[in-house]
């Protein structure tokens, strides 16, 4: 379900110009690494849980899985 | 050497001993006017047009593997210019016109076969959408016809006309669309560029981009440092990896697209047919194999291979549309790395780094664009201003709100 790294900016915490920059970055720009990647998975045909899966994009080998709610993804700055 | 009927006969009569290599295995020089990173169809086309249109011959194409080993060697060969949005229509038609003159221009048989591209429609709404697209094409002087059910049946009687859930109502036909031999396009552009002085350097991976005071100086490679006044990144699915060397993040995700070829059979499908009720497109190669594909797998990948659920889904689409292929055996299946942009449309633009240009974001539709992509990138690099038909392909269009979203899917790369 896509990159788990982007954090939605808080528009209230930013000046309009900075908010525009932050939202542009959040919506459109991606690291797109050729290697280890953390992404959301959604168990749509089972428990309906959201997960963060760590997968190597070169080989599809999965290095780890954790529930998205306690995944410890980097907090928004 | 020039290919001709005379050269064929002459070489046949002398034991095929006098053919010359189609391009030199060039040793990279210390400095070029232009370095093109990426030896696929687009990069080689750009090198050819830089030399042929703009007289710029101090050009090197650097390819980390062998030329055409990426998406140019993996696509389903379809060429067409049946786009609708203003930013796209004229660009793809330029490409179509370049396809039509290509074999004469390059003196190379790229097997351009204008056998038609037929997009089927299965509902009133879809037929109306196709009529709108067909009219948009005609307003730009591009050929298009809206066929009704009987006309489609006359063209392709083997289609499933009994499906009550997704009945074939008709289709949009572009007769000038069709297929071309993807490897030959790479080789044709490579040979023609080489003949004009372009250095084609294979097994040369770019590992860094040297920038001083915001201006590009050259590239670090696996074969040493190469200086360049201008550098163009034409790396398709690897665009983000190479752009990161210049400190740039792109509006691109790399996704896997699979493609398939069946065993060779006698002539069966004499045009390109796309399914309107599922993502499935098919044609038949001159060797006889059915060449077909469908949707992306839907997740980020650089592995150049996909998984079986997608294979099953694509085959289901094929079976729904033309049940006659059910007994044919699948011969080969592979994947590529698609540079999926955030609106499904490409980028041919400057970057914030002076002298560094970007050509990327072709999603899974890059093959048909090969000639125009090279032509317009060459124009941009040579003149520092975009070609008139490519002015909408800006890198900053996502920030300024000028997206070209043919599918209307929004900023979801896996849906484009």
Q: What is the pLDDT of residues B328-350, one digit of tens each?
A: 999 999 999 999 999 999 999 99
pLDDT at A73: 56
Assign domain B115-176+254-341 to its CATH architecture.
2-Layer Sandwich (3.30)
Tokens in use for B95? 């490409």
Q: pLDDT tens across A26-63, in order?
A: 999 999 999 999 999 999 999 999 999 999 999 999 99
Domains: count for chain A = 1
Band the pLDDT of B409: cuts 50, 70, 90.
Answer: confident
Per the prediction, chain B carries an average pLDDT of 97
pLDDT of A76 higher than 90: no
pLDDT at B408: 85
Tokens in use for B238? 């690897």
- Give domain B24-78+84-94+96-106+182-251+343-415's CATH number out of 3.40.50.880, 3.30.450.20, 3.50.50.60, 1.25.40.80: 3.50.50.60
Nearest to A29 among B251, B299, B301 (CB): B251
Contact B240 A2 (CB under 8 A): no
Restricting to B residues 111-140, those with a Cβ less than 8 Å away from any Cβ of A are: none
Q: What is the mean pLDDT of residues B49-57?
A: 98
A33 vs B: CB within 8 A: yes
pLDDT of B57 higher than 70: yes
A6 within some domain: no
Q: Contact B131/B138 with Cβ under 8 angstroms?
A: no
Tokens in use for A20? 């525009």
Outline which parts of chain B fall under CATH 3.50.50.60.
24-78+84-94+96-106+182-251+343-415
pLDDT of A72 higher than 70: no
B144 vs A: CB within 8 A: no
Nearest to B411 among A28, A34, A37 (CB): A28
Contact A33 B240 (CB under 8 A): yes
How far A23 CA sits from the closest chain B CA (Å)? 9
Tell me the three state secondary structure of residue B133. helix
- C-alpha pair distances (Å), A34 with each of A58, A59, B14, B31, B223: 6, 10, 50, 29, 22
- Alpha-helical (H) ranges within B107-202 are 124-139, 149-155, 182-195
Q: What is the mean pLDDT of residues B41-47?
A: 98
Outline which parts of chain B fall under CATH 3.30.9.10.
115-176+254-341
B399 vs A: CB within 8 A: yes
Tell me the three state secondary structure of residue A75. coil
How far A3 CA sits from the closest chain B CA (Å)? 9
Q: What is the mean pLDDT of residues B392-412?
A: 93
B396 vs A: CB within 8 A: no
Q: Contact B238/B359 with Cβ under 8 angstroms?
A: no
Q: For the whole model, what pTM was predicted?
A: 0.96
Query: Could you give the angle at the alpha carbon of A28 between the alpha carbons of A23 and A30, nearest 5°?
Result: 110
Nearest CA in chain B to A3: B300
**Enclosing H/E stretch for B189:** helix B182-195
Dihedral of alpha carbons B66, B68, B70, B75, sign: negative
Phi-psi region of B148 (alpha: psi -120 to 50; beta: other; left: phi over 0): beta
Nearest CA in chain A to B306: A60
pLDDT of A75 higher than 70: no
Q: How far apart are the C-alpha atoms of B213 and B140, rounded to whole Å? A: 44
pLDDT at A74: 53
Nearest to B252 among A2, A32, A58 (CB): A32
Q: Contact B149/B170 with Cβ under 8 angstroms?
A: yes
Share of chain B above pLDDT 70, in %: 100
Contacts of A58 in chain B (CB under 8 A): 302-303
Q: For A12-51, b where at least 16 C-beta lie within 10 A, e where not — what string?
A: eeeeeeeeeebebeebbbbebbbeebbbebeeeeeeeeeb
A2 within some domain: no
Nearest CA in chain B to A1: B299
Residue at token pair 């071309």:
B180
Q: What is the mean pLDDT of residues B57-61?
A: 98
Q: How far apart are the C-alpha atoms of B149 and B110, rounded to whole Å? A: 33
A3 within some domain: no
Band the pLDDT of B53: cuts 50, 70, 90.
Answer: very high
Question: Which range marks the domain in which residue A17 is found?
Answer: 11-70
Would you say how long chain B is, in residues?
416
B351 vs A: CB within 8 A: no
Q: Contact B360/B252 with Cβ under 8 angstroms?
A: yes
How far A42 CA sits from the closest chain B CA (Å)? 12
Cα B37 versus chain centre, distance: 17
ipTM of the complex: 0.92
Q: Which CATH number covers residue A42? A: 3.30.2270.10
SS (H, E, C) B366-404: CCCCHHHHHHHHHHHHHHCCCCHHHCCCCCCHHHHCCCC
Nearest to A29 among B250, B299, B303 (CB): B250
Nearest CA in chain B to A40: B299
Contacts of B250 in chain A (CB under 8 A): 29-30, 32
Residue at token pair 């954090």:
A7
């Amino acid at each position: 379900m896509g990159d788990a790294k982007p954090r939605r900016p808080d528009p209230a915490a930013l000046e309009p110009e900075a908010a525009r920059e932050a939202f542009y970055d959040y919506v459109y720009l991606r690291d797109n690494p050729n290697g280890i990647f953390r992404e959301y998975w959604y168990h749509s045909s089972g428990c309906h849980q959201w997960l963060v899966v760590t997968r190597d994009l070169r080989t599809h080998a999965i290095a780890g899985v954790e529930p998205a709610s306690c995944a410890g993804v980097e907090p928004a700055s | 050497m020039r290919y001709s009927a005379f050269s064929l006969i002459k070489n046949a009569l002398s034991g095929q001993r006098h053919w010359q290599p189609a391009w030199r295995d060039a040793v990279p020089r210390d400095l070029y006017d232009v370095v093109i990173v990426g030896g696929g169809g687009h990069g080689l086309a750009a090198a050819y047009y830089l030399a042929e249109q703009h007289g710029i011959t101090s050009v090197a194409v650097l390819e980390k593997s062998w030329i055409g080993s990426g998406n140019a060697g993996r696509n389903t060969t379809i060429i067409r210019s049946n786009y609708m949005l203003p930013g796209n229509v004229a660009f793809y038609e330029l490409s179509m016109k370049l396809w039509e003159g290509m074999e004469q221009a390059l003196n190379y048989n790229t097997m351009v076969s204008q056998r038609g591209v037929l997009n089927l429609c299965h509902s009133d709404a879809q037929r109306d959408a196709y009529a709108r697209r067909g009219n948009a094409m005609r307003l730009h002087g591009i050929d298009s016809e809206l066929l009704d059910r009987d006309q489609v049946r006359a063209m392709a009687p083997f289609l499933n006309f009994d499906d009550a859930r997704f009945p074939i109502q008709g289709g949009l036909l572009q007769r000038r669309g069709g297929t071309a031999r993807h490897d030959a396009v790479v080789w044709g552009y490579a040979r023609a560029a080489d003949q004009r002085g372009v250095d084609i350097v294979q097994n040369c991976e770019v590992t860094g981009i040297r920038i001083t005071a915001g201006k590009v100086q050259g590239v670090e490679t696996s074969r040493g440092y190469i200086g360049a006044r201008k550098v163009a990144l034409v790396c398709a699915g690897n665009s983000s990896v190479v752009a990161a060397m210049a400190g740039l993040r792109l509006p691109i995700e790399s996704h896997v697209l699979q493609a398939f070829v069946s065993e060779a059979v006698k002539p069966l499908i004499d045009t390109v047919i796309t399914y309107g009720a599922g993502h499935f497109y098919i044609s038949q190669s001159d060797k006889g194999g059915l060449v077909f594909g469908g949707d992306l797998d839907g997740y980020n990948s650089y592995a150049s291979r996909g998984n079986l659920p997608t294979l099953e889904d694509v085959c289901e689409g094929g079976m729904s549309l033309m049940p006659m292929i059910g007994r044919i055996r699948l011969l080969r299946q592979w994947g590529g790395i698609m540079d999926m942009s955030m609106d499904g449309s490409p980028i041919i633009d400057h970057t914030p780094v002076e002298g560094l240009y970007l050509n990327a974001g072709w999603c899974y539709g890059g093959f048909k664009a090969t000639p125009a992509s090279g032509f317009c990138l060459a124009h941009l690099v040579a003149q520092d201003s975009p070609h008139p038909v490519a002015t909408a392909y800006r890198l900053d269009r996502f920030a300024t709100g000028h997206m070209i979203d043919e599918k209307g899917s929004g900023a979801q790369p896996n849906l484009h």
